[in-house]
Amino acid sequence: MWDKNNYKLIKSRSKPVIFIQSLVSNRFTRKYGIICILLLVILAILSYRRILFQKYIYQTLPLYQRSVSLTFSNSHELQGTISNDRWMDIGDPKKRFKLYSAYFDPRLEIVESYDVPDGFLPFGSVRVFAILPLKIQKTAVFCNFRSDNTYEAQHQADQVESVHEHWNMEFTASYVICKLAGNINKRTILLPDEVALSYHAEPSMREATAFVRIKYPRTDMLFQSTPPNELAVCVGPMHHNFGFALRMVEFFEYYILNGAARFYVYNKTATDEASAVLRHYEAEGLVEILDWHFDGYQFEHELRYEGIFVALNECFYRATVTGGYRYTAIVDFDELLFPAGDNESLLDYLQSRDRYDVHSFNFEGVFFYDIYPTDQAQVPPWANNTYLYTQVRNMRTTNPLLHHNRSKYVMKGRNVLEAGNHFVWKAIRDTNEYPVPENEGLLLHYRDGNLGYDYENHVIDNRVRNRFGDKLWRKVNQRCTLIFSTSVGAKGICPLGANYNQTRPLS
């Protein structure tokens, strides 16, 4: 029955052909085989794109950034180092859009996902700090750049973000990021001096009018070497006629003993005494006073307290970019970060625990409430100023609140993207928080006029007193003599402030 030719034909079919035929002849494998092949192709395309993207991020962008030479316009050098930042209206003041300051940011992680036109590459970004409505139309926000007072360019904002803790109020602390990109065929790039925001959905804001100077790192434009300075401290806005002069001096001296070299203090309203303290430290280059005067919002209804979340974020950029500080602490005048190890300063502690992949050190809080009895036993007889919080208040809550619950932190500014009041919200890829254990450090909160959690459980804690007492008593009294001996009747006494035990500090 078998035909010779047919027999031969079958025999001559090669194995691959048989394999393919059997695949195609089976309906099940045909259907799913094709899907598989499609998936494989998609996977190949995706991984190829990923390789290209990784090349863009890790090779092209850094190569480009390092190869271009960034130059300033003629007027740049004429600008002094004193900050004259202040709140400015964008367009019609009744609309209550405001901006405060702007910083250059060389970190490429921020710009890597932004679109750029063909023939251009980003080498950094400019971050503008502002108060904007929560429900802003983001695509209508533009950055307007200027150099030597000449209009240069307008770009749609790459990102318009509100700081996390906005509580859905009408206005929110915001930042606007615009990339800076250069033509790949040019070797030098002229950096913009100033930036203004415009908003095309609102007629009075279409034209750019309120320009702020962009702050650049003084040296090391691209953050390539280690930061030149170590520890800076940011203090949230002073408001309601803040007047606790003695507490401020104690605060500054405590942190100076702990390695702080610069304080950034935001002044909305302060008494003459508090201002005298600030000006004294300013004259020594220790304090930078920022004008935080603005109004028009109902705080806690339309905007979170005193615009604090703009201050926190603008402050760590100021410390990191302009100041060149490695560490930035964010605290209030009644909050001291205490390193618990023997004989350590806060700075020693941070350096001993630091690693490349840490973005912040988070300290759990304990409270020294004013209802606890004070202990005046250690007040030196010669002291003109006797009520030092760290020296007469030695009873505190036993159990610290957990991390992120009213905790405070020291951040490494170069690793942080968005700061919050109690912890870091956004940080550079692959970096983590270091939760400081209780035996290594604590946030000591000398709270006045406000009874909080767990006050029934208390212990005596004399560690700050024993470690820093001698130096603090001397330093504080010396400073107060310098600041408050000229006016009649002042006698080297820093005013405690009326109702000093009724302050209601932020947070």
Ligand X SMILES: *[C@@H]1O[C@H](CO)[C@@H](O)[C@H](O)[C@H]1NC(C)=O
Note the residues at the interface with ligand X (CB under 6 A): 267, 269-270, 275, 278-279, 289, 293, 342-343, 370, 382, 384, 401, 405, 453, 477-478, 481, 485, 491-492, 499, 501
CB of 481 to ligand X, least distance (A): 4
Q: Which are the contacts of 225, defined by CB distance < 8 A and separation ≥ 6?
A: none
C-alpha pair distances (Å), 298 with each of 41, 42, 267, 290, 420: 57, 53, 18, 22, 21
Q: Which is nearer to ligand X, 123 or 281 (CB)?
A: 281
Q: Are strands 141-147 and 194-199 parallel, antiparallel or unpaired?
A: antiparallel
CB of 58 to ligand X, least distance (A): 39
Q: Which is nearer to ligand X, 123 or 242 (CB)?
A: 242
Contact status, residue 422 vs residue 408, Cβ threshold 8 Å: yes
CB of 259 to ligand X, least distance (A): 16
> How far is residue 69's CA from residue 429's CA, in Å, rounded to a whole number?
27
Q: Which of 274, 266, 215 is nearest to 237 (CA)?
A: 266
CB of 353 to ligand X, least distance (A): 17
Q: Which is nearer to ligand X, 256 or 270 (CB)?
A: 270
CB of 166 to ligand X, least distance (A): 16
Q: Which of 469, 464, 81, 477 is nearest to 262 (CA)?
A: 81
CB of 183 to ligand X, least distance (A): 44
Q: Which is nearer to ligand X, 218 or 279 (CB)?
A: 279
Q: Which is nearer to ligand X, 280 or 326 (CB)?
A: 280
Q: Which is nearer to ligand X, 204 or 384 (CB)?
A: 384
CB of 476 to ligand X, least distance (A): 9
Q: Which is nearer to ligand X, 174 or 407 (CB)?
A: 407
Q: Which is nearer to ligand X, 2 or 382 (CB)?
A: 382
Contact status, residue 385 vs residue 246, Cβ threshold 8 Å: yes
Contact status, residue 363 vs residue 442, Cβ threshold 8 Å: yes
Q: What does DSSP assign to residue 411? A: E
Q: Which is nearer to ligand X, 96 or 403 (CB)?
A: 403
Contact status, residue 216 vs residue 323, Cβ threshold 8 Å: no
> How far is residue 422's CA from residue 167's CA, in Å, rounded to a whole number?
15
CB of 194 to ligand X, least distance (A): 24
Tell me which residue has tokens 């974020």.
313
CB of 506 to ligand X, least distance (A): 16
CB of 363 to ligand X, least distance (A): 15
> How far is residue 196's CA from residue 137's CA, in Å, rounded to a whole number?
17
Residues in the chain: 507
Indicate the helix (H) or strand (E) that contains 9.
helix 4-12
Tell me which residue has tokens 């195609």.
24
State which residue has the least CB distance to ligand X. 492
Neighbours of 410 (CB within 10 A): 27
> How far is residue 183's CA from residue 120's CA, in Å, rounded to a whole number?
5
Q: Which is nearer to ligand X, 78 or 283 (CB)?
A: 283
The end-to-end CA distance of the chain, in Å, is 98
> How far is residue 479's CA from residue 287's CA, in Å, rounded to a whole number?
14
Q: Which is nearer to ligand X, 106 or 243 (CB)?
A: 243
CB of 387 to ligand X, least distance (A): 9
Distance, C-alpha 33 to centroid of its chain:
52
Q: Helical H runs in 384-493?
A: 389-392, 463-483
Contact status, residue 229 vs residue 261, Cβ threshold 8 Å: yes
